[in-house]
Amino acid sequence: MFEIASPETVRHYLIDLQSRITGAVAALDGGTFLVDTWEKAPGETLQGNGITQILEGGAVFERAGCGFSHVRGPRLPPSATQHRPELSGAPFEAMGVSLVFHPHNPYAPTVHMNVRMLAAKNPDGQTVCWFGGGMDLTPIYGFAEDAAHFHQSCKDALAPFGDDKYPRFKTWCDDYFYLKHRNEPRGIGGVFFDDFSELGQERSFGMLRGVADSFLGAYLPIVHRRKDMAYGSREREFQLYRRGRYVEFNLVWDRGTHFGLQSGGRTESILLSMPPLASWSYQHVSAPGTPEAALYEQFLVRKDWV
């Protein structure tokens, strides 16, 4: 279905990306990713295959999931056609890599990255391809140097594709990763883009690669700085409480989760982003002047980090 960036080219890149990322994370953690290769059964609405890799109970990461999927379906679900109503119900092809890493240490932030390509036939029979993705950081305890490093990495990755891309995609990320029912950002953001094809097929795919290839350099130095910091029950309890917000966003607002579930995707692979443990408290209030309150006052606010 792809006219210039062939499915074989995109698929090869994404599988290699998954392998590079999980290899680097396993080397840092010392653990091993479980590799689950799957294929949709004949007769199911959605057809395709993928590779789910997950590390649980490691020395550094409590849960680190990274999945590749390549699927075809008879009808695009509503979550994929918000901005392309003319493609509602069209046959489609989609492939991507999505990851979420939840470290043990509350001082090490959770991170999310996703890159994807979708294609469908419009009513005139023409193939329409578009790209999406980005990455964002969700600290439990914020550090300005970490936020600046992460955002600078995002900005540098997008610089070759136009000076407008980072500020535009940062704003898009701030708008998207927002818990509307709580009037609260999910974290300190990063970059996010969707329904993107304005640079043409090859250059748009190049931009996707630029973002994805910058991920390890954006995130792993932060984990190295924070993974061995001392913490106690107070920090752990706050970490689990904040993870509850992460779960809320993914289940209530995330278009990727909705797309996977609405299109008949593989549930366990779709929900690999969930933390192994989370909590909710009806009366939680962070006392003024505490490190917990600083998260809300200094980091869960819109800010130019670079």
For range 225-254, the mean pLDDT: 95
Query: Is 296 domain-assigned?
Result: no
Query: Is 291 domain-assigned?
Result: no
Closest by Cα among 72, 75, 81 to 130: 81
Query: Is 190 domain-assigned?
Result: yes
Which pLDDT does position 259 carry in this prediction?
74
Say yes or no to pLDDT of 302 above 60.
yes
User: 199: pLDDT confidence band, cut at 50, 70 and 90?
Assistant: very high
Which pLDDT does position 7 carry in this prediction?
75
Which pLDDT does position 80 carry in this prediction?
60
Query: Is 2 domain-assigned?
Result: no
Which pLDDT does position 268 carry in this prediction?
79
Which pLDDT does position 1 carry in this prediction?
38
Say yes or no to pLDDT of 2 above 50.
no
Lookup: tokens for 280: 């909710």
Which pLDDT does position 78 carry in this prediction?
64
Residue 139 CB neighbour total at 10 angstroms: 23
CATH code of residue 21: 3.40.1500.10
Lookup: tokens for 82: 């918000």
Q: What is the pLDDT of residues 69-92, one digit of tens each?
A: 998 887 776 666 566 666 666 788
Query: Is 289 domain-assigned?
Result: no
Higher pLDDT, 195 or 7: 195
Q: What is the pLDDT of residues 109-142, one digit of tens each?
A: 999 999 999 888 777 777 778 899 999 999 999 9
Q: What is the pLDDT of residues 48-73, one digit of tens each?
A: 999 999 999 999 999 999 999 998 88
DSSP the chain: --SSS-HHHHHHHHHHHHHHHHHHHHHHH----EEEEEEPPTTSSSEEEEEEEEEES-SSEEEEEEEEEEEEESS--GGG-SS-GGGTT--EEEEEEEEEEEESSTTSPEEEEEEEEEEEE-TTS-EEEEEEEEEEEE-SS--HHHHHHHHHHHHHHHGGG-TTHHHHHHHHHHHHSEETTTTEESSSEEEEEEEE-TT-HHHHHHHHHHHHHTHHHHHHHHHHHHTT----HHHHHHHHHHHHHHHHHHHHT-HHHHHHHHTT--HHHHGGGS-S-----TT--PPTTSHHHHIIIIISS-----
Lookup: tokens for 230: 């001392």
User: Which residue out of 70, 83, 102, 112 is catalytically annotated?
Assistant: 112
Higher pLDDT, 231 or 197: 231
Mean per-residue pLDDT of the chain: 90
Lookup: tokens for 156: 């540098």
Q: How many domains does the chain have?
A: 1
Query: Is 305 domain-assigned?
Result: no
State phi, psi for 134 to the nearest 5 degrees: 135, -175
Query: Is 243 domain-assigned?
Result: yes
Which pLDDT does position 82 carry in this prediction?
60
Catalytic annotation on 284? Answer: no
Which pLDDT does position 3 carry in this prediction?
42
Which pLDDT does position 278 carry in this prediction?
95
Q: What is the pLDDT of residues 16-35, one digit of tens each?
A: 999 999 999 999 999 999 99
Q: Which residues contact 93 (CB under 8 A, 6 or more apart)?
A: 1, 2, 7, 70, 71, 72, 118, 119, 120
Say yes or no to pLDDT of 300 above 90.
yes
Say yes or no to pLDDT of 205 above 80.
yes
Per the structure, the complete domain to which residue 228 belongs is given by 7-279
Query: Is 59 domain-assigned?
Result: yes
Residue matched to tokens 């999910």: 186
Q: What is the pLDDT of residues 258-279, one digit of tens each?
A: 877 877 767 877 788 899 999 9
